[in-house]
Structure 1
Amino acid sequence: MLSILIPYRNRNISHILNCLNSLQKQSVNNFQVHFIDYGSIQEMATEAREICSRYSFVVYNYHPVEYQPWNKSRALNSVIKDLKTEYCFVADVDMIFHHQFVEKALKLSQTGKCIYFQVGFLEAGELISNQPFDESYIYRKSTDEATGLSMFPVRILRELRGFDEFYHFWGAEDTDIHVRIKNAGYGVEFYDKEVLMLHQWHPTYRLKESSRLTSDIQISGIVQVNHQYLKTAYNQKRTRVNSISWGKIVSEVEINTLLNADFSRELTNKKSEIDSFIYAELPQLSGMILKLKIKESEITKELKYHAKKLLKKKVDRYYSLKEVNDKLLIQTISFYRDKSYYFKVNEEQNEIEFAIIL
């Protein structure tokens, strides 16, 4: 039996159908799909849940983390730690599978290695719903540097405490687990004898990254941070990660508690105020629910303030709210990711809400 894990959030609904339809056509049926919805908005979650219910081989899991950054590692770990099968395959909702994929993957699992697969990429706009797999036009194939579609012995993933949950948003978590598996002395092999998966086109994360404050939670430059952190897995020969916990998901009760809590305080975007809170106050707080609102200071809207700046007179320094967003989020995912929290941007009011159980 092979467990196929599909992490998901707010992605193209037609891609779900194409992916699951291809799995329905497999030559063997000894597999189960764990569809892990990591915080889709309710409208899309409802639609995804309904689609998954059409397939007897799919188990749908919803995690109430709409107001937390995307974390593929934690989504996967939430299932990996409780799997009953010996092997699991980390998939992607954009995949279309060859009808013999599961059959061939199970044979390859007998090597005891981590096996990752070459993928054929489809062009934007290519219609594939009723097209035979072998007749699809592949404009390029992935190389051994693309590690995202991998099959693992579950015991090895558990030994290493799963995927590293530092990696938020996109980039490097898949390569990181490969590096750590090798560091632990286990084998990793690239399978490129044939293409067993096709990738449905979608815009890349970097194209979506915005330089302004947006309700779509982001951190500027996070992909580069992730890849820099990946280097330490090589340099330090890292194997085990997630020392506090792994695969732990905030509960709906905790999220509702945070959403319904009263605001503890209000901050402005004044640099000294933000720095003092993030680096001095927050690390000392415990045993409480903290909920705050961060707004742009009225002072920065005054002509007097801007006139002083032009005349190069001494004035207080203020961050943009986008800078506040990035600083608070990077601090949260670095040091508080194991806490129950939410992070919300109100674009209309131009303010940030942050709440956490300390």
Structure 2
Amino acid sequence: MLSIIYPYRNRNLQGVKRSLDSLRSQTKPTFEVFFIDYGSSPETAFQVKELCAKYSFINYRYAFNQHQPWNKSRALNSVIKTLVSGYCFVADVDIIFHPEFIQKAIQLQDLNKSTYFQVGFLSEGDEVTQNHFTTGDYRKSTREATGLSMFPVRVLQDLRGFDEFYHFWGAEDTDMHVRIENAGYEVKFYDKEILLLHQWHPSYRREERKTLTRELQINGIVQLNHQHLQWAIQKNTTATNREEWGVVTSKEDFEFLDQLKTDQCIDNEKRKIDDLLYGQFPSFKNRAVKIEIKKSLYQRSLKYKLKRILRKKVPEYYTLKEVNDLVLLHLISFYRTRPYIYMVDDNLDSLTLSIKL
């Protein structure tokens, strides 16, 4: 039995349907699918759950992480941690499976080996059909594309899954391969034939912006992720994560945090933000807090602007974008296993964090 894991959030449903239909056409149906919706909007979650219900081989799960940054590692780990044995394949919702993919994948299974597959990239405007597997009219992935991999479950569990430090985009798949090899196992690239096609779509990786947006972002996060990968390579890292890994936000915790009343409201003065992150947070134990951060009214005042022009002493302030990046980086570094809700106001003039510690 092969367990296929789809990590998902707010993606095009037509592409998802085509991917699932290609699994329905497998010549060897000895597989199961775990479809992990990592916090899609309520409307999209309803639609994708209805779609998944049409396939008898799918186990749909919803994680209430919609007001947290995307974390592919945790989405995958929430399934990996619960698997009893066997092998799992990390899928992508844009992938079309060759009818014999499951049969070939099972033939490649080895308890001491992980296998990742070469992919054919379809072009914009291509009609998605199984004929592409025979025509070969596509660009092929290289060894550097490590995302579509089959693993022995025991190996992943021994290494405590994918490293959950990686948020947003980048490097978690390669990191997993590196740590598997560091632990003494093999990782093989299967390029004898194309068994997977990638449907074309506009890039889902949002361009990094220097200003605050409602969509959660951290400046330089891709570079930070790749630096973390380099550290894993240099230090021969094997197991990662804390003991509490693969835990997603429950409905109960989400509803509790969503109804929490504000404990404190502070502005963006530097000393206040620094005290919040480095002074107060370590003392928030066994409790839930809700904090609102707004742009200082004094910072907007004529008096403040005049004092700055006259070079008189005035408080120092972070921009709200800087506060956003500091808070998010703090969360993913030290509190990523805790239930939390983090939101940027519609008007981009305040930030709200609710967290259960």
TM category (shorter chain) comes to over 0.9
Shift of the 183–289 alpha-carbon distance from structure 1 to 2, 3 Å rule, reads same
Q: Which residue is equivalent to 2:300? A: 301
Match status 1:202 vs 2:201: yes
Separation in 1, partners of 2:10, 2:208:
16
Instruction: Return 5+ residue gaps in structure 2 as ranges.
Output: none
Aligned partner of 1:341: which letter?
Y
Separation in 1, partners of 2:57, 2:241:
31
Separation in 1, partners of 2:20, 2:206:
27
Separation in 2, partners of 1:212, 1:2:
44
Shift of the 136–199 alpha-carbon distance from structure 1 to 2, 3 Å rule, reads farther
Q: Which residue is equivalent to 1:93? A: 93
Deviations 1:126-149 (A, max 9, x none): 332x46232677442111111100
SS of the counterpart of 2:65? coil
Q: Which residue is equivalent to 1:160? A: 159
Match status 1:73 vs 2:34: no
> Is the deviation greater in 211-220 or in 259-268?
211-220
TM-score, scaled relative to structure 1: 0.95
Q: Which residue is equivalent to 2:279? A: 280
Aligned partner of 1:18: which letter?
R
Q: Which residue is equivalent to 1:59? A: 59
Separation in 2, partners of 1:291, 1:87:
41
Q: Is the 1:123–1:201 Cα contact (8 Å) retained in structure 2?
A: yes
Deviations 1:140-162 (A, max 9, x none): 21111111000000000011011
Shift of the 207–69 alpha-carbon distance from structure 1 to 2, 3 Å rule, reads closer
State the 1:58 CA deviation.
1.0
Instruction: Return 5+ residue gaps in structure 1 as ranges.
Output: none
Aligned partner of 2:74: which letter?
R
SS of the counterpart of 2:108? helix
Separation in 2, partners of 1:215, 1:207:
12
Deviations 1:173-223 (A, max 9, x none): 101110000000001100111111111223335543332222222111111
SS of the counterpart of 2:36? strand
Equivalence map 1:28-47=2 (5 Å): 28-47=28-47
Q: Which residue is equivalent to 1:23? A: 23
Q: Which residue is equivalent to 1:240? A: 239
Q: Is the 2:269–2:316 Cα contact (8 Å) retained in structure 1?
A: yes
Separation in 2, partners of 1:68, 1:136:
42
Q: Which residue is equivalent to 2:354? A: 355
Q: Number of matched residues? A: 357
Shift of the 315–60 alpha-carbon distance from structure 1 to 2, 3 Å rule, reads same
TM-score, scaled relative to structure 2: 0.96
SS of the counterpart of 2:89? strand
SS of the counterpart of 2:292? strand
State the 1:351 CA deviation.
1.2
Shift of the 327–178 alpha-carbon distance from structure 1 to 2, 3 Å rule, reads same
Q: Which residue is equivalent to 1:103? A: 103
Separation in 1, partners of 2:21, 2:9:
19
Q: Is the 1:122–1:137 Cα contact (8 Å) retained in structure 2?
A: no
Q: Which residue is equivalent to 1:213? A: 212
Q: Is the 1:170–1:205 Cα contact (8 Å) retained in structure 2?
A: no
Q: Which residue is equivalent to 2:321? A: 322
Q: Which residue is equivalent to 2:169? A: 170
Q: Which residue is equivalent to 1:84? A: 84
Deviations 1:282-312 (A, max 9, x none): 1122121110111111122222322333344
Aligned partner of 2:279: which letter?
A
State the 1:121 CA deviation.
1.1
> Is the deviation greater in 302-311 or in 87-96?
302-311
Q: Is the 2:340–2:353 Cα contact (8 Å) retained in structure 1?
A: yes
Match status 1:331 vs 2:292: no
Q: Which residue is equivalent to 2:126? A: 126
Deviations 1:39-90 (A, max 9, x none): 0011000111011111111111111111111111111111111113410000
Q: Is the 2:212–2:348 Cα contact (8 Å) retained in structure 1?
A: no
Q: Which residue is equivalent to 1:225? A: 224
Q: Is the 1:65–1:250 Cα contact (8 Å) retained in structure 2?
A: yes
